[in-house]
Amino acid sequence: MKAFAQLFTSLDETNKTNEKVKVLKNYFNCVPDTDKMHMLALFSGRKPKRQINSTQFRTWAIEASNIPAWLFEESYHVVGDLAETVALLLPDHGNSSNKTLTEWIGEINALNNMPEVEKHDWLTRSWAMLDAQERFVFNKILTGSFRVGVSQNLVIKALADVAELDAATITHRMMGNWMPETYLYEELVHTDTALEDVSRPYPFFLAYPVQETSEKQKSPEAMQTLLGNADEWQAEWKWDGIRAQLIKREGEIFIWSRGEDLATDKFPELHALLHHLPDGTVLDGEILSFQNGQPLSFAVLQTRIGRKTLSKKILEDSPVALIAYDCLEYDGEDIRYKTQTERRQLLEGLQATTPYPEVFNISSLITFKSWDELAEIREQSRAMIAEGIMLKRKDAHYQVGRRRGDWWKWKIDPLSIDAVMIYAQKGHGRRADLYTDYTFAVWDGDKLVPFAKAYSGLTDTEINKVDSFVKRNTLEKFGPVRTVKPELVFEIGFEGINKSTRHKSGVALRFPRILRWRHDKPKEEADTIETLKALLGE
Amino acid sequence: MLQKPLLEFTDKGIYCAKGNFYIDPWQPVDDAVITHAHADHAYTGHKRYLAHHLSREVLYYRLGEIQLQTVEYGEKVMKNGVEISMFPAGHVIGSAQIRVESQGQVWVVSGDYKTEDDGVCTPFEPVNCHHFISECTFGMPIYKWKPQSEIFADVNSWWRQNVAQNLATVIVGYSLGKAQRILQNLDLSIGNVYTHGVIENTNEALRRNGIVLQPTHRITQESVKEEVRKGIIIAPPSSVGTPWMRKFGPYSFGYCSGWMALRGAKRRRAADRGFVMSDHADWTGLISAIDATRCESVYLTHGSTATFSRYLRDIGFDAHEVHTLYGGEEEEAPAQSASQPSPEGEGFEEKIPVKIAMEALPPGEGLGGAAL
């Protein structure tokens, strides 16, 4: 655990990519292989099962730190991170632990089914054995909120260097459903065992936005400059559902979401079509709610995401189907090296012979001759329930991760509305103790109705200004939330809008974010609820 | 009949009506008693100043030609029958708690203070009183400082490591207080100490006041970059990320502040190293200091006033939250980022307060003495 806590500290102490890779390599070189696998699991979001729930964790931390519960909560609001709060509040006993990461996680897993009193004793004992930094990392593992300031790509790059393998291979072998207890480091880095797991998905190829960071649209001329001739590109609608990889190998089927969650059970409608595919087939596509052959908005799909059990009613109200984009494995062969056009032909062949065409759709190609023409077609995106257009170079291979060059997403402008900030709440992590989470409202007569929360879109400098405004213009405090004097106006962008019975305003927005601070607008000139609802009509 | 309180909180500062003087006023007044020379306590524009003699040169340097009377710790000054004396606050060189007594009633204004002896300024001394007006910048239990010997062992080993890797070392702390505390604890066998002009001006003022500091080299146009890079540079927060600082690159940059205790604040500063080092008392320090005064009532002027006063009431103190302009608004300090540093200070030490902070107060609360 010492080495792991030190890794965490060292990663925090530098903002330079090269330094971070160096720190990671150091770590890999000095810990046992089982620790490496546990570290990889944690850094790629495979956390151990939660054995101590949040209430127990808080209660026992309050007890061990010997402060009143309200003071614990106030401390938490300032720190913005539960694991860190507890690490700071507990008394320091001047100890430090020699147990390895593997041993600690072993102990955590052994808590399963233990009586509460034993969990309590174990936790209190463990806290006393650790120094503050170790306690912080330990709490992170325990509470499952494991986010580090380092991307999985960097971890893989460091590991690839240490293991003398290429990063794409490691990325692929890190995919899927493995547990650090059973997946050995030798298996991960040993060449022959790469494809043994029949469930293992390929790393997703992800597109970059054509607009890059700016919200400004690209003209057809700019598209020509960026991408070259239109005839080198294939265009499809950019569907707004759940990106997924569907696998049929050795008679078994697997559906993976892009977040590397195994979601086979969540989409029973797709099982038959998968079973009918030949063994050794892997498809890339989007899962959407469909009705009468028409895709529905993401809001409909959302009603069934995250449910543990799918009731009959949900399956009836929000049935799903697949829109296939690509074929990655054909007849047991990894065909990611083939061109977009070649893969597309194989995909069309598979789709043409399916007895389940109502759930096995193929993403239709858009016919266009020039960027001008495509720009015009793109205007119909909202009517198509699409987010815009996907562009794929006809001779592109299927690559690993988010790459510039061969796949681009050309999204439509977000919808936008000018709104007044009325509530603010402190953020977390890097934004802890700063008011960064805002609630926005529009006018309904002379009242302001809240309709959206947004966290992102402002620069650090702007955040500091808003933070200072919030602190000086607080009207009321409700726990962590402050009601602020309605004064600041922001342009809020969003991808979609739907009716909602759960929200006071009667609407729910998709991906709301701050586009800009409207210093030029007094609050009286912010938009009204009527303007907002008019956007529903489309 | 109830006795009128000796000190009251007004919109100009802490006021003694009987003695007709203010303590750390933020609006121009005739008579100002100053706890220490940081800008949120020592404002310009008063007719007469009274301060500790070790604040003299820094006050002249910062405020120009002022009419200043200075005293030793423990020395008594009478103003309209009210006795004023100063006691060490341990915050920065020359910082004092102000003790005010009249007709057996004793009030103490802490200014800013820390309870750990930093070896640079005269250590904090608790003063018995009936009413204690205290800061509580770090009045949350998440703030617990390590002994400074541990922190400086880290600082020196970090410096040594940088030298070995041919990295310049820049350590950041505000110019009055932190800078001298860092300077006095550096291991000069590693290399020379170079200072930013703002810091060296303060050092010089302190030396004029008779303070003996370790040798420093002011960074000027003539400084040889390669030499400076082998030493350590002490710089104020305002220099972070400026071309002045960048020209010494590649460097490792360390930030010394109590706010560094939180990971979020540290990450926002984008410092390579955050040293948790403060000239304010931590949670335990605050409670022990307040307890040691054996006061009947305690008034919290700035910092986590709401939380801290509630806790003090929980454990049996008669504690009140009062609103002042010290330290800017309570939670403001950590909001500063590297991209927009405050002119100086631990994020707030030397900030000019804004009128709106007062206007935002609900009527009757904080000002005038509803709390008294």
Shared domain check, B266 and B173: yes
In a domain, B129, yes or no: yes
Shared domain check, B339 and B269: no
* 3-state percent helix, strand, coil for chain B, nearest multiple of 5: 25, 25, 50
Last residue of a domain, one of B275, B294, B319: B275
Average pLDDT over residues B141-158: 96
Q: Give the closest of B144, B340, B356 to A464, CB-based.
A: B340
Considering only residues B10 and A95, tell me which one the structure prediction assigns the higher pLDDT. B10
Given a contact cutoff of 8 angstroms between Cβ atoms, the answer to whether A28 and A36 are in contact is yes
Shared domain check, B135 and B20: yes
List phi, psi (to 5°) of B205: -60, -45
Considering only residues A20 and B323, tell me which one the structure prediction assigns the higher pLDDT. A20
Given a contact cutoff of 8 angstroms between Cβ atoms, the answer to whether B71 and B86 are in contact is yes
Considering only residues B55 and A318, tell me which one the structure prediction assigns the higher pLDDT. B55
Residues of chain A found within 8 Å of residue B270, distances taken between Cβ atoms: 15
Q: How far apart are CA B372 and CA B10, in angstroms?
A: 12
- pLDDT attached to residue B336: 34
Q: Give the closest of A67, A68, A79 to B262, CB-based.
A: A79
Reference A102, options A26, A162, A36; nearest CA is A36
pLDDT averaged over every residue in chain B = 86
Shared domain check, B31 and B93: yes
In a domain, B268, yes or no: yes
Q: Answer whether residue B358 shows pLDDT above 70.
A: no
Residues of chain A found within 8 Å of residue B261, distances taken between Cβ atoms: 88
Q: How far apart are CA A435 and CA A440, in angstroms?
A: 14
- pLDDT attached to residue A215: 58
Last residue of a domain, one of B275, B299, B332: B275
One-letter amino acid identity for A82?
Answer: L
List phi, psi (to 5°) of B69: -110, 135
CB contact under 8 A, B314 and A65: no
Q: How far apart are CA A519 and CA A516, in angstroms?
A: 9
The residue whose two tokens read 């902070």 is B357
In a domain, B25, yes or no: yes
Cis peptide leading into B237, omega within 30 of 0?
A: no
What is the CA A56 to chain-centroid distance, rounded? 28
Q: How far apart are CA B134 and CA B298, in angstroms?
A: 7
Domain of residue B348, residue span:
8-143+279-359
Residues of chain A found within 8 Å of residue B263, distances taken between Cβ atoms: 12, 81, 84, 429, 432
Shared domain check, B187 and B108: no
Shared domain check, B20 and B135: yes
Using pLDDT thresholds of 50, 70 and 90, give the confidence band for residue B364. very low
One-letter amino acid identity for A430?
Answer: R
Q: Answer whether residue B350 shows pLDDT above 70.
A: no
Q: Give the closest of A15, A68, A431 to B270, CB-based.
A: A15
Given a contact cutoff of 8 angstroms between Cβ atoms, the answer to whether A224 and A417 are in contact is no
Q: How far apart are CA A302 and CA B126, in angstroms?
A: 62
In a domain, B368, yes or no: no
Say yes or no: B273 contacts chain A, CB-CB below 8 A.
yes
Distance from CA of A505 to the nearest CA of B (A): 29
Residues contacting residue A532 through CB under 8 Å, at least 6 positions apart:
A417, A442, A451, A497, A505, A507
Residues contacting residue A50 through CB under 8 Å, at least 6 positions apart:
A142, A143, A144
Pairing of strands A489-494, A401-402: unpaired
Q: Which of A205-219, A221-235, B42-56, B138-152 has the lowest mean pLDDT?
A: A205-219
Using pLDDT thresholds of 50, 70 and 90, give the confidence band for residue B370. very low
CB contact under 8 A, A471 and B272: no
Shared domain check, B164 and B264: yes
What is the CA B240 to chain-centroid distance, rounded? 20
One-letter amino acid identity for A117?
Answer: V
Last residue of a domain, one of B239, B254, B275: B275
Distance from CA of B360 to the nearest CA of A (A): 6
Residues contacting residue A215 through CB under 8 Å, at least 6 positions apart:
A413, A414, A493, A515
Q: How many domains does chain B have?
A: 2
Predicted ipTM? 0.85
- pLDDT attached to residue A193: 54
Shared domain check, B137 and B167: no
- pLDDT attached to residue A216: 65
Q: Give the closest of B272, B310, B331 to A471, CB-based.
A: B331
- pLDDT attached to residue B352: 30
List domains and CATH numbers for chain A. Answer: 2-143 (1.10.3260.10), 205-411 (3.30.470.30), 415-537 (2.40.50.140)
- pLDDT attached to residue A16: 80
- pLDDT attached to residue A195: 54
Query: Residues A220, A221, A222, CA angle at the centre, nearest 5°?
Result: 90
Q: Give the closest of A67, A430, A468 to B268, CB-based.
A: A430
Quote the tokens at residue B227: 């030499």
- Name residues of chain A where pLDDT drops below 50: 538
In a domain, B2, yes or no: no
In a domain, B61, yes or no: yes
DSSP string covering B225-262: HHHHHHSEEEE-GGGTTSHHHHTT-SEEEEEE-GGGGS
Q: How far apart are CA B326 and CA B280, in angstroms?
A: 13
In a domain, B364, yes or no: no
Pairing of strands B193-195, B217-218: parallel
Which residue in A434, A435, A437 has the most chain B C-beta atoms within 10 A of its own C-beta, making it the best mutation to test that interface?
A434
End-to-end CA distance of chain A: 56
Shared domain check, B171 and B266: yes
The residue whose two tokens read 């080198």 is A232
- pLDDT attached to residue A148: 72
Reference A389, options A537, A509, A239; nearest CA is A239
Residues contacting residue B184 through CB under 8 Å, at least 6 positions apart:
B119, B120, B213, B214
Q: How far apart are CA A179 and CA A48, in angstroms?
A: 9
* CATH number of domain containing B161: 3.40.50
Q: Give the closest of A75, A432, A461 to B140, CB-based.
A: A75
Distance from CA of A95 to the nearest CA of B (A): 15
Residues of chain B found within 8 Å of residue A65, distances taken between Cβ atoms: 141
Shared domain check, B271 and B240: yes
CB contact under 8 A, A468 and B357: no
Shared domain check, B215 and B134: no
* CATH number of domain containing B89: 3.60.15.10
Given a contact cutoff of 8 angstroms between Cβ atoms, the answer to whether B181 and B163 are in contact is no
pTM over 0.80? The answer is: no
Given a contact cutoff of 8 angstroms between Cβ atoms, the answer to whether B140 and A75 are in contact is yes
Exposed, middle or buried: residue B147 (CB in 10 Å: 0-12, 13-18, 19+)? exposed
The residue whose two tokens read 């970090």 is B158
Residues of chain A found within 8 Å of residue B140, distances taken between Cβ atoms: 74-75, 78
Per-residue pLDDT tens for B285-310?
A: 999 999 999 999 999 998 888 899 99
Shared domain check, B249 and B309: no
One-letter amino acid identity for B36?
Answer: H
Give the CA count within 13 Å in the CB-facing half-sphere of B160: 11
In a domain, B183, yes or no: yes
- Which residues of chain A from 442 to 461 reach within 8 Å of chain B, CB to CB? 460-461
- pLDDT attached to residue B366: 32
